[in-house]
Structure 1
Amino acid sequence: MELSTKRKRAVPDQRADEFTPSPADRGRGSPRSPLSRDDFERRGIADVSTGGRQTRFGENRSGGLESDGSPCPSPSTAPVAVNQILFLCTGNYYRSRYAEIVFNHLAPAYGLVWQATSRGLAPDDRNPGPISQHTLAALRSAGIPAPNPLRFPMPVTENDLSAAQIVVAVKEAEHRPLLQRSFPGAVGQVEFWHVHDLDCAGPESALPQLRIHVEELMARLVDPSEIRWGPMVVPRSA
């Protein structure tokens, strides 16, 4: 993954022994228009460049006066606005759980004020245990601790979709039909990737590819001007 030389923020090194897919292995998506500052204002995305102290563009929370004349909270007392990203897969058992845990583990190193969660579009009660053993093995190999205790898979809800500023479904061919059936109004909100489930690819190739996508997303979030997303169909509540 290449980052612009003008960005001086430290980015975690890729493990030397990690699988690196060829360009043909990476998901391809259609180009998207950059978000403007008005887009960020509409979606309620906090300004990540200030560590969350500026909760909206043009709304300085580090001093001065609020619109009603009351003092703004100081940086030491101001609440940190945490943005939400939602990863979706079919069962919330394997791929989306890996993306969620990797994102949350790496976010502090990128200086991101974002919290990831994950849900399933069609969880299967027949899956053994709370999370895939392939996911746990890949996390151990990368030196990333799994949450303790581990939760069981959860189905996505309307509230989950409306609470997230960014929604990612990890395989378009698999997940677009499920979204169109259950949440047709949310389809335009979703960024689709192309990471296979176990029926099409083994974890030794799918999960490293998924990590690359996650880190590319995080690199874009470091500089909000570089984010490319489609229009939001399920807006945040005012």
Structure 2
Amino acid sequence: MKKILFVCTGNTCRSPMAAALFNRLAAASGIGYEAASAGLAATEGSPASASAIKAMEGYPGADLSCHTSRRLTYADIKEASLVLTMERAHRQYILSMYPEAHQKVFTLKEYVYGADGDITDPYGGDEAVYRHCAGILSKAVEKLAEKLK
């Protein structure tokens, strides 16, 4: 099975939501991919943000209640078929550390829509901000699953 890695800053909001949403679709469609997530500045072992967990309640099968954050490693980059970041700055940082990965590191919006852009960090926002972010991620991940079929 091929692996997709979603990357954000702290691995408590965007990337775990994206991975959970993708895995929910991948399981239903059998596309041969699975997703994981990591953060560039993650504190190892932190839970997903309470608001991210709540936002995922609207997407059955995308449960973050058992998620624990982890920091991006070289092994993650090496093992992934595709690395999708939430921001251009994340992509730049990864490519500065691992230039050999240039053919598989993109922002999520760049890979899915062909137009570069960031997915705004909901951290610190209210539940409506998290739900909005989850909606953006859900649409992007649906397009991603279609593209990978």
Q: Check whether TM > 0.5.
A: yes
Within a 5 Å distance, the mapping from 1:1-238 to structure 2 comes to 82-124=1-43, 129-146=46-63, 150-172=66-88, 174-192=89-107, 193=109, 194-198=118-122, 202-222=129-149
Preserved contact between residue 87 and residue 170 of structure 1 (Cα < 8 Å) = yes
Aligned residue pairs, count:
137
d(CA) in 1 for partners of 2:140 and 2:13? 16
Aligned to 1:141, what secondary structure does the other structure show?
coil
Aligned partner of residue 42 in structure 2, secondary structure: coil
CA contact (8 A) 1:176 1:187 kept: no
- Kindly state the Cα deviation for residue 138 of structure 1 after the two structures are TM-superposed: 1.4
* 1:145 positional shift: 4.6
Distance change (3 Å), C-alpha of 1:200 and 1:83: same
1:180 offset after TM fit, Å? 4.0
2:81 partner amino acid = Q
Hey, what's the Cα distance between the residues in 1 that align with 2:62 and 2:92?
Answer: 33
**CA separation of 1:196/1:187 partners in 2, compared to 1, >3 Å: closer, same or farther?**
farther
Q: Deviations over 1:114-158 (max 9, x none)?
A: 111111111147x9x41111221111122235266x242111111
Q: Which amino acid aligns with 1:162?
A: K
1:113 offset after TM fit, Å? 1.4
1:177/1:200 Cα in 2 relative to 1: closer, same or farther (>3 Å)? farther
Q: CA deviation at 1:199?
A: 6.2
Aligned-residue Cα RMSD (Å) equals: 2.4
Unaligned runs of 5+ in 2: 110-117
**Displacement over 6 Å in runs of 4+:** none
Q: Percent identity?
A: 28
Cα separation, 2, equivalents of 1:111 and 1:146: 19
Please identify which structure carries the higher helix content.
2
Structure (1 or 2) with the larger CA radius of gyration: 1
Q: Name the structure with the higher strand share.
A: 2
Contact 2:13 2:123 in 1 (8 A): no
Which secondary structure state, in structure 1, belongs to the residue aligned with residue 35 of structure 2? Answer: strand
Aligned residue for 1:142, secondary structure, equals: coil
Conservation of the 8 A alpha-carbon contact between 2:21 and 2:62: no
